[in-house]
């Protein structure tokens, strides 16, 4: 059953979480993942829970490793944008027990990465938002995943003017990767919750 994000907030029994709970906010571009994560963080904090937020796009690789590789553009985006297996071992696999994580973080302005240290809370919710979170390398690390859905035509209207003017790039790089993810991983079926962001004001952001 698909529900609106605001309804999800009220239906979930957030106090059931114990230790470190790993919660994912999955969805394609312009479905409202970032804004939902911010509002969920505020909601959980008011309930006395400690929340630590990660954005999966902070862990992409340099452009030379994901553009002009000889693969189709959608394959570069899906398979090369992140080091999926490395993140499975050194990020997702350590979220439950590690006190600190040393992770390579991407700087878009410099197109470079630097090793940064993150100190995790002893208890609370580790909230991860981003696209393709339910890929086979990562899905089993989550205690709960919410998947945001919004029709492609509405998401297109939420794109920047620059991106709307380059619909060919959207189709061959991003939309084909999204279609592959939907066909092969069936994220709406895998998710614990499916949230409709087509009419929600949460969906106004990325």
**pLDDT tens sequence across 183-202:** 999 999 999 999 998 875 55
* CA-wise closest residue to 125 among 34, 49, 55: 49
Distances (CA, A) of 5 to 99, 119, 157: 31, 29, 20
* pLDDT grade for 68, boundaries at 50, 70 and 90: very high
**pLDDT tens sequence across 109-136:** 999 999 999 999 999 999 999 999 999 9
pTM: 0.92
Q: What is the pLDDT of residue 201?
A: 54
Q: Residue 107: beta bridge partners?
A: 112
Q: What is the pLDDT of residue 16?
A: 72
Give the residue with greater pLDDT, 49 vs 15.
Answer: 49
Q: Tokens 């050194």, residue?
A: 90
Q: Which residues contact 88 (CB under 8 A, 6 or more apart)?
A: 137, 138, 141
Q: Could you say which of 3.30.70.260, 3.30.930.10, 3.40.50.300, 3.40.50.1000 is the CATH number of the domain covering 2-200?
A: 3.40.50.300
Q: Counting beta carbons within 10 angstroms of the beta carbon of residue 99, is it exposed (0 to 12), middle (13 to 18) or buried (19 or more)?
A: exposed
Torsion sign, CA atoms 198, 199, 200, 201: positive
* pLDDT grade for 203, boundaries at 50, 70 and 90: very low
Mean pLDDT of 15-20: 77
Q: What is the pLDDT of residue 195?
A: 95
pLDDT over threshold 70, residue 206: no
Angle (CA) 123-127-131 rounded to 5° is: 155
Is-contact 63 111, C-beta < 8 A?
A: yes
pLDDT over threshold 70, residue 107: yes
Is-contact 117 101, C-beta < 8 A?
A: yes
């Amino acid at each position: 059953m698909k529900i609106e994000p605001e309804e999800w907030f009220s239906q979930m029994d957030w106090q059931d979480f114990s230790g470190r709970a790993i919660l994912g906010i999955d969805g394609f571009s312009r479905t409202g993942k970032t804004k939902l994560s911010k509002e969920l963080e505020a909601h959980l904090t008011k309930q006395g829970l400690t929340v630590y937020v990660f954005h999966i796009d902070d862990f992409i690789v340099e452009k030379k490793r994901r553009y002009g590789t000889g693969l189709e553009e959608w394959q570069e985006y899906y398979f090369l944008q992140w080091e999926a297996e490395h993140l499975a071992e050194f990020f997702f696999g350590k979220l439950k027990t590690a006190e600190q994580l040393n992770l390579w973080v991407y700087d878009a302005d410099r197109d470079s990465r630097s090793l940064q240290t993150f100190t995790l809370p002893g208890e609370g919710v580790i909230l991860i938002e981003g696209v393709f979170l339910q890929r086979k390398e990562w899905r089993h690390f989550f205690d709960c995943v919410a998947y945001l859905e919004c029709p492609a035509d509405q998401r297109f209207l939420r794109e920047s003017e620059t991106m709307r003017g380059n619909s060919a790039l959207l189709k061959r790089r991003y939309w084909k990767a999204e279609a592959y993810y939907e066909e092969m991983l069936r994220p709406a079926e895998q998710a614990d919750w499916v949230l409709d962001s087509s009419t929600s004001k949460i969906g106004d952001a990325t």
